[in-house]
Structure 1
Amino acid sequence: MSGVVSIIGCGFVADLYMRSLKAMDGITVAGVYDKNAARLAEFCDFWKVPSVESMDALLDRHPRDGVVLNLTNPSAHFAVNSACLAAGCHTYSEKPLAMNVDDAKALHAQAQAAGLMLASAPCSVLGEAAQTFGHALRNGVAGIPRAIYAELDDGFVPQAAYKKWISESGAPWPFEDEFRVGCTLEHAGYYLGWLISWFGSVRTVVAASAETIPGKEGAGPFAPDLSVATLFFDNGPMTRLTCSIVAPHDHQIRIIGDDGVLACKAAWDNSAKVTFAKRMTIRRRLMESPFPKTIKLGQPTHPKVKRWGAAAMNFMLGPSEMLDAIRTGRPSRLSNDFALHMTEVTLAMQNAGETSGAQAMTTRCDPMEPMPWAQ
């Protein structure tokens, strides 16, 4: 792998990208910009990467066969993504792509018109756990999938010691922004990305969301801290996905098939085990095997990153995929359609409230081609 990236935004998440970049041979950083000069200097000094005095200057010097990483706060995503595309740069955005569907559609149209790639985090869909799960599905390990239960619950976060969560280069966890943006926009993509990659488009979202913990620290208004969605795919099983910063930590996904249950317990670990528990009848009792089989791929996968904080994920898998697609002249697995559709579904969950009922999705995307080592 090889290529060049430029970085806009030096906050908490940017350190996770830099840790991941160190595991990826051949990818270099052309320049870094942040509107906070002190934070920019601190970040660039820590990681030994070149700083740039303005966003315009960064975009001017950015190689057009590279990828710009937009790691700014979510409220700035639309404007920064649009500026990157206007400058003729392939763009990889931290989640969400934009804060509303109209803005996301405008970015998609802008990228399409310019012939540019526009991708959205998270990229764990390209990781070993997601790809192993997909391989098991395609090979019918559990039989025909009939239902999916997925959880992205992170514990009662407003009572956590989040002011002690400091990144490697010294950036604090942006708790106020996180509470305003909400856990659904921040986290739903971790399993939505997997699901859409396997089954393609979500046809209908039936969801509810609410702020269940009032009085969070910081200036509101705050987003819902709990959402529960039922997803109906064009070509997939009925799925229930829950996001919260209320319920005890649970990142499990289970696919219930005719022959048993495929499961993974750690969305934020590229190396998490994927297991299959065969269904059986012992005497008169129907049950899944208490000794599930671990599913493994038969060849090397991708560079891994050691756990830091809550995650053991390679955040550079997405930019690396885009760089390889640019270099080889093929479509990226993280397509413009994929980014837009995942954004629309996520926003439907986030904004559902109490009375939205069934929401018909207006965007579509195809299932994702598996990684070569998972085919």
Structure 2
Amino acid sequence: MTGRQTGSGPRGAGRVALIGGGFVADLYMRSLARHPDITVLAVHDHDPARLGTFAAHWGLRGVARLDDLLAQLAPGDVVVNLTNPRAHYAINRACLEAGHHVYSEKPLAMELAQARALHDLAAARGLMLVSAPCSVLGEAAQLLLGAVRRGVAGVPRLVYAELDDGFIPAAPYGKWQSESGAPWPHADEFAVGCTLEHAGYYLAWLIAMFGRVERVVAASAEVLPDKPGATGTPDFSVAALFFESGPVARLTCSIAAPHDHRLRVIGDKGVLQVREAWNNAAPVRFHRRFVLRRRLIEDPFGRRLRARAPSHPKVGRWGAAAMNFALGPAEMLAALAQGRACRLTNDMALHLTEVTLAIQNAGRDSGAQVIESTCDPMEAAAWA
């Protein structure tokens, strides 16, 4: 755990409860330590051994039964669902039915009909249903969003977004452990697939920048059928995303191609680029386009864009990520405390899930799919 860092990110005091004490829960606890105004009330996990280990490591109160945990919460508390993706729908529904706001790890549910049902239930109960990832609230994403809004690169025409993680089956993933000793859940990761697990990181940024995706043309495939625990789930996908506001984006996900986490917004004046999706403090650069000796050139170094004021608490790198996983719950609590709308909306959670599932389920026979849900773009943070 690290010390407090000042900043102008969400600061609404409040309380959260965690459901799930596995690998990612440690990343959330490291991040929550940077938000001293947020109290972690308790944690529940269906595995007694894991619950005991996680609770003891972080000094939390473990609750063995989900119903008991939910019964102890008050209006205004936020439940953070960190369970296996296949359990998301049931857990999210139970929390909403108990009258609690929910921050869910991605996706909201494994089936679109279930995600829509959750969205409708939250609306009927007047509750927030927010989906990870919250890196869209991070410094890099907000700086990029602000630059797009100001037209730094001119009119955005095309976006290339890469979420290729390297040849993961050859990595020593059996040795990867979280701080409390939880192993990286490789069986779940391979069974759920890299698209459902990772596409949301840049999809959230793109939806925040451009709003609704009206059409998806995608293909997905399992190119590594010999990986441990292979289930036929796609481990590669590529999608063309057609935004209602005009731009087109290409998004790739894989656990086979060499590591590449770049996002490039290509405009009339040049290119805005971020190289690291999983680093809140990743540099955002503008590569101006110009003509030199009859050649069209983009500045190879680029001008770095910087925040106008302190942004949010930062978290040091752990494994592949340097992300503050608590920015989402913190934003929800701040919105509740200040009586305003949450920047991460219920509509965004549903739209993100629908687009991700469209890519995941495209299969080898790619085709166009019309997206029915909608989402408004996000305004950049004042410091961006």
TM-score (norm 1): 0.98
* Partner of residue 360, structure 2: 350
Find the aligned partners of 2:76 and 2:100 in 1 and give their Cα distance. 8
Cα deviation 1:240-298 (Å, max 9, x = unaligned): 00000010000000011111110000000000000001101110111101231001121
* Partner of residue 263, structure 1: 273
| 1:295-334 mapped onto 2 (5 Å cutoff) | 295-334=305-344
* Partner of residue 65, structure 1: 76
Counterpart secondary structure, 2:63: coil
| 1:140-155 mapped onto 2 (5 Å cutoff) | 140-155=151-166
TM-score (norm 2): 0.96
Find the aligned partners of 1:362 and 1:85 in 2 and give their Cα distance. 23
Out of 95, 99, 114, the position equivalent to 2:110 is 99
Counterpart secondary structure, 2:71: helix
8 Å CA contact 2:279–2:323 kept in 1: the answer is yes
Cα deviation 1:59-112 (Å, max 9, x = unaligned): 000122110000000010000000000000000000111001000000000100
- The percentage of counterpart residues that share the same residue type is 61
Counterpart secondary structure, 1:188: helix
Find the aligned partners of 1:138 and 1:55 in 2 and give their Cα distance. 43
Find the aligned partners of 1:356 and 1:277 in 2 and give their Cα distance. 33
Find the aligned partners of 2:246 and 2:118 in 1 and give their Cα distance. 28
Aligned residues: 373
- 1:166 and 2:180 matched: no
Out of 292, 296, 306, the position equivalent to 1:282 is 292
Name which of structure 1's ranges 121-130 and 209-218 shifts more when overlaid on structure 2.
209-218
Out of 200, 208, 211, the position equivalent to 2:222 is 211
- 1:90 and 2:64 matched: no
Measured after TM superposition, the shift of residue 158 of structure 1 is 0.9
8 Å CA contact 1:181–1:222 kept in 2: the answer is no
Find the aligned partners of 2:77 and 2:337 in 1 and give their Cα distance. 9
Out of 30, 50, 62, the position equivalent to 1:51 is 62
Out of 17, 28, 31, the position equivalent to 1:20 is 31
Counterpart secondary structure, 1:15: helix
Find the aligned partners of 2:325 and 2:75 in 1 and give their Cα distance. 21
Structure 2: stretches of 5+ with no match in the other structure: 1-10
Find the aligned partners of 1:98 and 1:250 in 2 and give their Cα distance. 27
Structure 1: stretches of 5+ with no match in the other structure: none
Counterpart secondary structure, 1:209: strand
| 1:125-204 mapped onto 2 (5 Å cutoff) | 125-204=136-215
* Partner of residue 244, structure 1: 254
- 1:372 and 2:377 matched: no
Counterpart secondary structure, 1:194: helix
Counterpart secondary structure, 1:347: helix
Amino acid corresponding to residue 14 of structure 1 in structure 2? A
Find the aligned partners of 2:221 and 2:129 in 1 and give their Cα distance. 31
Measured after TM superposition, the shift of residue 371 of structure 1 is 2.4
Alignment RMSD: 0.8
Cα deviation 1:309-344 (Å, max 9, x = unaligned): 000000000000000111111111111100000000
Find the aligned partners of 1:57 and 1:255 in 2 and give their Cα distance. 47
Measured after TM superposition, the shift of residue 196 of structure 1 is 0.2
Find the aligned partners of 1:24 and 1:249 in 2 and give their Cα distance. 31
8 Å CA contact 1:4–1:63 kept in 2: the answer is no
Cα deviation 1:353-375 (Å, max 9, x = unaligned): 1224000001001012322323x
Measured after TM superposition, the shift of residue 236 of structure 1 is 3.5
* Partner of residue 4, structure 2: none
* Partner of residue 292, structure 1: 302
Query: Which aligned segments of 4 or more residues in structure 1 are displaced greater than 6 angstroms?
Result: none
Find the aligned partners of 1:200 and 1:168 in 2 and give their Cα distance. 37
Find the aligned partners of 1:48 and 1:42 in 2 and give their Cα distance. 10
Out of 52, 55, 61, the position equivalent to 1:41 is 52
Find the aligned partners of 1:146 and 1:31 in 2 and give their Cα distance. 47
Measured after TM superposition, the shift of residue 217 of structure 1 is 1.0
* Partner of residue 350, structure 2: 340
Find the aligned partners of 2:379 and 2:202 in 1 and give their Cα distance. 17
Cα deviation 1:157-182 (Å, max 9, x = unaligned): 11111010000001000001100100
Find the aligned partners of 2:246 and 2:48 in 1 and give their Cα distance. 48
